[in-house]
Amino acid sequence: MKKGFYLLLTAVLFINCSDGDLSQEVISFDSVSTQSCSNNGIIYKIKEQEALLIQIPASAFTNEPTAVDSPTIIDINSTNRVVYRFYNGAISSSMFCETIPPSSPTVNDEWIATAGKIHITTTAIKTTNTATGQTSITGYNHNIVFKNITFAKQNGTQVYETFAFGDYSRSITPVALGFDETLEQCSASKQIYNFNSGESITLDNISTDLIKNQITPLNSPRTALIGTTSNKLVYRSYTNGIVTPNYFCSTSTPTVPTINQEWIAEAGVANVKGIIEVTTTNVLNTYTHRIVLKKVTLNKGNNNFTLGDSYILGELITTN
């Protein structure tokens, strides 16, 4: 009798585990890459018959690194959603981004997060030009962790004190720095500037002894340090219009075009970083001042990138 009962129990368990109705008790997507939909704001992970979905505003993923130990925190609710699903068959990434999802496979089990918080830690993704030392920000990585998340499921609730969703990365277009080497200078403010249709770089309140109509000795340029007021270096990119020469040399900054990004150089340190070098030559009473920036870092909020070991700002032409 006992032997027959155990055989029957084994058969029932085998059927329950083989018909696609398995109810999951542990969620694990540690080794799975994050994917996203461009049309509905869903980011997700899938493996075999399981999916873990997040739907939060795209604005939660900013192009700005978070401060140390200060992640972006979002409450989980009916708007900011986290959902786990178990399907009755293999799933593919395309089904989550379609306006009308496929009829098969179907959801056998669904856990909906009803409480908790989403912590997002953002860092910049950078590349370095090994020849010049210049760095470029090519994207941002968003590490996502759920804190005290509560899932409502068919037979009760499941709570995780800490649940690591993983990384979600997005690419951006790096700062272009698409300038020629021709510099201009304002007659009154002495601001030195270079620009193209969508960006500019300026050197404000430049030291009076840097630009002189005097030839510099060989390998002995005039030098100064970048500062926060004097010799202030600023990079800007623009939207809603194009940059023209009229944008510069006015007493107030024009409102058109609109400043999109503004990066300000760190103050220099003697013989270390943030150094301005000016080499002056003379041909037929025309002076060419070649300005080179050494080991300059530009900052915007918690963001930064470097211009490299030696960056040619350009050449300024003056006459007596």
pLDDT for 15-61, tens place per residue? 333 333 444 567 889 889 999 998 888 999 999 999 999 999 999 99
pTM of the model: 0.86
What's the CA gap between 259 and 123, in Å, rounded? 23
**Beta bridge pairs of residue 153:** 156
User: Of 164, 174, 170, 172, whose CA–CA distance to 58 is shortest?
Assistant: 170
Predicted pLDDT at 1: 44
User: Of 48, 122, 32, whose CA–CA distance to 86 is shortest?
Assistant: 48
Is the pLDDT at 142 greater than 80, yes or no? Answer: yes
**Beta bridge pairs of residue 306:** 297
Predicted pLDDT at 309: 98
What's the CA gap between 42 and 61, in Å, rounded? 12
Predicted pLDDT at 31: 87
What's the CA gap between 178 and 120, in Å, rounded? 33
Give the model confidence (pLDDT) of 179-222 as tens digits.
999 999 999 999 999 999 999 999 999 999 999 999 999 999 99
- Within the chain, how many helices (H) and strands (E) appear? 1, 19
For 242, the token pair is: 């194009």
SS in 3 state form for 215-284? Answer: CCCCCCCEEEECCCCCCEEEEEEEECCCCCHHHCCCCCCCCCCEEEEEEEECCCECCCECEEEEEEEEEC
Q: Where do runs of H (alpha helix) occur along the chain?
A: 2-18
Give the model confidence (pLDDT) of 73-126 as tens digits.
999 999 999 999 999 999 988 888 887 777 789 999 999 999 999 999 999 999
Q: Where are the domains of the chain?
A: 27-171, 184-319
Q: Residue 8, by phi and psi: left (phi above 0), alpha (psi -120 to 50) or beta?
A: alpha
Task: Please state, in angstroms and as integers, the Cα–Cα distance from residue 246 to each residue in 6, 187, 243, 264, following that order.
Answer: 90, 13, 8, 22
Q: Look up tokens 């856990």; give the residue.
A: 111
Is the pLDDT at 2 greater than 90, yes or no? Answer: no
